[in-house]
Amino acid sequence: MEIKYLGKKTFLIKGKKEQALVNPDERIATKDRPRIIIKNETKIEMDGEEGERVVVMGPGEYEIGGIEINGFSAGTGQTFYAVTVDGVTVGILGQLKEALNDKRIDKVSGVDVLVADIGEGNAIGTKAILNLAKKWGANYVIPVGYNSDNGDLKKFRVESDTEGQEALESLKVDKDNLPEGTEVIILKESK
């Protein structure tokens, strides 16, 4: 399984047989046209014909082409997801307006990778994201949704102690080869 960051809040999860585009933004051009679209917020629009795609927006349990998607209410109209692709579970946190309470946190039994929106307007902050990663047993944390111009990523790097870390093109994850502990991974925007 592979994760690529496409910019803004958009990223691609590529499995062996299927792929999912998360939080697509019409301003981001991509050659990948997966049929599965996952949205944390309902206001995001996607060009093209919706009939060609399966769009997941909101709480519930879904299975599409071997990808398992569990959506959980985060309150304030937001949804967070646990998406399992090729045996690897990816937690997807949108831009949360308030911290998740213990009842909501306990709904997710664990994730291997936590992708978190750290952009301006995210009310929970780096420390809370890293605490969620620890509670869920995440081996990787990937920040998305940041604006480099206003210092979101720089602040996250300082608070997560990853200031000198080089950004990767993508993250390839094998369920049988996960690292010990939690690693923060910064991904370059790819097109």
41-91 per-position pLDDT tens digit: 755 445 555 556 788 999 999 999 889 999 999 887 889 999 999 999 999
Which residue ranges form the domains of the chain, and what is each CATH number?
2-184 (3.60.15.10)
Predicted model pTM: 0.90
171-184 per-position pLDDT tens digit: 999 999 999 999 99
Query: Could you give the CA distance from residue 105 to residue 109 in angstroms, rounded to a whole number?
Result: 8
Query: Could you give the CA distance from residue 169 to residue 117 in angstroms, rounded to a whole number?
Result: 18
Q: Please state the φ and ψ torsions of residue 17, each to the nearest 5 degrees.
A: -115, -20
- pLDDT of residue 29 exceeding 70, the answer is no
**pLDDT value at position 40?**
82
Query: Could you give the CA distance from residue 32 to residue 29 in angstroms, rounded to a whole number?
Result: 9
Q: What is the mean pLDDT of the chain?
A: 87
Tell me which residue of 92, 27, 12, 11 sits closest to 58, measured CA to CA.
92
